[in-house]
Structure 1
Amino acid sequence: MSNTSHANASGVFGAADRAGDYIEDDTTPFAPTLPRRRAETTLVADTERVTPETTPTPASPIFPEAVDRSSTSVLFSSPAAGLAAASRMSNPAKASVGFRGVLASLGLPVAPGPAEVVERQRVDLRTADETTVRQATWTRAVSILINNPKGGTGKTPTALLLGGVLAAIRGGSVAILEVSDDPGALNFRAEGNPQLGLGELVRDVTQIRTAGHLAGYTAPQTSFASVIGSTGRRERLTGDSVIAVTSVIDEFYGIRVMDSGNVTTSSAFQGAVSVSDVLVIPVMNAGDSVLEAIQLLDELRSAGGDSAKLADTAIAIRLTDGRPENDAVRQEVERLLKDAGVSALHEIPYDAHIAERGQITLGNLNPATRDAFTSAAASVVRSLQSAVSAAPSQNRKA
């Protein structure tokens, strides 16, 4: 991050640079005080209270990558999507819910109200994102690295929910793996109580020959993802162990999501970087959170090669845990991430299920939260397609 950027940020963040060594307490509950959101990023789950003056727009990236999801071409979409588009064009929109829906059912030409229009837009965007995720293909396994050097920014929930959404839409073949130096919270936050985990897999990695054997080291999720975390104490993870384990995982899973630690100079993190295709950075609306994220990008770019490519295509996911937030800080976070070259920033609304800091189940999310993670997953998939297609070889980097 440049000196100029640090100077511009200091007025908003104050002593954030000096807070880099402070680790947030992940066990302290906070009341769900929702921050005020700008109209263009508002997420709505309850459309009954929407008025024409306050009609929000569906979830979308704050500064998205250049992609057009609005095409309704009958010629170039799937047959089912083409028929649906043709049906909409031949049948003008009519209301289907509430009093307007009753009038429309009687044959009156009553258009949908503002709340129903918003809900239809939300469904259309979600459908487009799900189609992007479901239909993406590669000629090798692909990988996603989740990291922010600042603790307490939501790395583990992001790994579980992003991986869970990918698995739920694609019908499985997603492994969520812990790659932190020491045991992290992945196994605690995931569903299930597996007998074997990462430590045992590292020990037995050379003996894995079948998918059934590998499954014995996982915690199957209701999302159809498979989690490989630490079930207890284990030896400190090394870069060589990360590479060995991921090579085996890639034989049996199409997508690998890696939940990393806070030490970016560690051997384990460097090993994870060497076998990653896309970087996802969770952030909060706090100075230390975003400044350490930008420092990570600077370090990756300084390393050059594939590390720099990860930084140049990084995607940020901003979570809200219910703490009081400041609009000036929110706007500064957006500006700094955009200036740092982050390709897309996705807003995740407050969700009590995430903030409880307990076991995470994809099906327990609020609809707006799941839609937001689906939008983020579509961005990640597009970035994966670009990264893999641009690679000079289809072999793993390691």
Structure 2
Amino acid sequence: MAHSTVQVDYDLVANGDHVTIGDATFAGESAYPDAMDWLQQRAAHAGAARVVRSHDAGTGAETVFSIDHAGVIAPVTGPVEDPADSGSPWEARPQQPAPSTSREIPVDLAPAPVPPVSAAPTPTAAPSSPAVEAPTTRREARQSFLTQETVEEPATTGFRGFLTRAGLRMAPSAAERRHREQVHLVSQHHVGPRTVMVANGKGGAGKTLATVCLSTVLTRHSGAATVAWDNNQTRGTLGWSTESARHDASVLDLLPEIDRLLGTEARSADMAEYVHHQTRDRYDVLKSKPDILASGQRFDAGTVDRVHKVLTKFYRLVLIDSGNDETDPMWLAGLDRTDQLVVPTTTDDKWCESAALLLEQLIAAGGRYKELAENAVVIVGVETSDVKPEKVAEQVRRFQDAVLGRDVLTIPYDAGLKARIINYDALHESTKLAWLAAGAAVAKGL
């Protein structure tokens, strides 16, 4: 007996907070429930459950479900009939006698596939392969009972998340799986301290902004003790862009106490006298002193090394906001202690060229500098609202074509990033997702 096809009554397209069913459009926070109410009314009018084929425009995922007069949603499996082009897509369609075509059903809803039956193959000579050694002991032959199995959490976002909350367990989309992987990466605790240096030889490239946002993302998700260090002798402004504690201490106040802090009697709480805790974002800031001349706070490599030893004693993650002079001993000493290099830039050609020259020079230097450059994360920030998407894409492509950096990511324009002290929670959701992706790329290199 031939398997009957499922007749689709309505086609639904979900695109963010917009849902379209034929000529009916629903928008805003209530778009999904409003669309379901609309379908529920149609089911009540028809006196039977309506079959809906939904398409997520963002992910391309397709789902088939039914909804009855009471609003109960249930999965629909089996071959789906491709409706004729004539007629309104939001009105019930009559049964079509024409042959149907099968549509892909989500894996978590579809029945198990049946292997096709094929004719016996013609015997051929088996290719030679190395002999596989048989297990020599009973333990080697036995499969462990302790196999690891993870049950995937159902979808929580988008239209698939809405269907999950309505009682129809849906597998997450590719976008949601990617987001979960990014959260997993930035939540890791690494063995031993890790240092991230943010560098670009041209001022205004977004080094301090990247230091702040990456510190926020990594700390909020991992909970690891994190410090952002303004290793800049030329009026570093990290302190101006972050909260101040009840003191005005800077790295200059830390220097005379390094021996004591490296001693066995020092406690992590002692660092509160020299750093500024960010109450919302949970990381600390070691400021420079931007109101004095560079000559008053230019250190040699040995001093930078001692400061770094103190910070890595009390913190798991150290993010270095570097200066603009790539030949300065402080800059070079910071690079020598770096595990992951981050190179921010705007979309402007001059800043992109500065970033590219830095990476090329490090590659030419060879050794560990070459490894840092090849593993670098390049962050292209959109600096004004009038930058065309084509310009952003072009700059990303040029970095990728030149094989400069392991990952090249973009941060959309957001007026909240222009504030003197950035309130991460006030940023647009797309901006926060972009910084999460950047943080995941950084964490991947640690």
TM over 0.5: yes
Inter-partner Cα distance in structure 2 for 1:379 and 1:131:
11
Shift of 1:195: 2.2
Aligned to 1:348: 411
SS in 2 for 1:185: coil
Aligned to 1:281: 343
Match of 1:190 among 225, 242, 256: 242
- The answer to whether the 8 Å contact 1:145/1:279 transfers is yes
Shift of 1:301: 2.0
Aligned to 2:211: 159
Inter-partner Cα distance in structure 2 for 1:219 and 1:110:
46
- The answer to whether the 8 Å contact 1:199/1:230 transfers is yes
Change (3 A) 1:246 1:76: farther
- The answer to whether the 8 Å contact 1:181/1:238 transfers is no
SS in 1 for 2:253: helix
- Residue 17 of structure 2 corresponds to residue 48 of structure 1: yes
Inter-partner Cα distance in structure 1 for 2:287 and 2:259:
18
Aligned to 2:199: 147
Cα deviation, 1:232-253, whole Å, max 9, x if unaligned, reads 5352233222211011100111
- Residue 425 of structure 2 corresponds to residue 366 of structure 1: no
Cα deviation, 1:259-314, whole Å, max 9, x if unaligned, reads 00111011110011110011101111111111111110122123222212111111
- Residue 259 of structure 2 corresponds to residue 202 of structure 1: no
| Structure possessing the higher relative contact order (Cα contacts under 8 Å, 6 or more residues apart) | 1
SS in 2 for 1:83: coil
- The answer to whether the 8 Å contact 1:178/1:258 transfers is yes
What percent identity do the matched residue pairs reach? 22
- The answer to whether the 8 Å contact 1:319/1:350 transfers is yes
Cα deviation, 1:87-137, whole Å, max 9, x if unaligned, reads 67xxxx98564xx89xx94x8x8999xxxx8xx655443322111221342
Change (3 A) 1:260 1:84: same
Name the larger-Rg structure: 2
Aligned to 2:231: 179
Paired letter, 2:360: D
Root mean square deviation of aligned Cα: 3.4
Change (3 A) 1:76 1:161: farther
Inter-partner Cα distance in structure 1 for 2:159 and 2:385:
41
Inter-partner Cα distance in structure 2 for 1:359 and 1:94:
35
Aligned to 2:284: 226
Aligned to 2:99: none
- The answer to whether the 8 Å contact 1:312/1:341 transfers is yes
SS in 1 for 2:258: helix
Inter-partner Cα distance in structure 1 for 2:19 and 2:338:
42
Inter-partner Cα distance in structure 2 for 1:186 and 1:330:
26
Inter-partner Cα distance in structure 2 for 1:131 and 1:78:
18
Inter-partner Cα distance in structure 2 for 1:78 and 1:128:
18
Which aligned pairs between 1:112-123 and structure 2 lie closer than 5 A?
122-123=175-176
SS in 1 for 2:445: helix
Q: Give me the TM-score of the superposition, normalised by structure 2.
A: 0.61
- Residue 398 of structure 2 corresponds to residue 336 of structure 1: yes
- The answer to whether the 8 Å contact 1:150/1:289 transfers is yes
- The answer to whether the 8 Å contact 1:315/1:343 transfers is yes
Paired letter, 1:214: M
- Residue 437 of structure 2 corresponds to residue 375 of structure 1: yes
- Residue 151 of structure 2 corresponds to residue 83 of structure 1: yes
- Residue 308 of structure 2 corresponds to residue 255 of structure 1: no
Change (3 A) 1:241 1:78: farther
Paired letter, 2:406: S
Can you give the 5+ residue segments of structure 2 that lack an aligned partner in the other structure?
1-14, 21-53, 61-107, 109-144
- The answer to whether the 8 Å contact 1:348/1:372 transfers is yes
Match of 2:181 among 121, 128, 131: 128
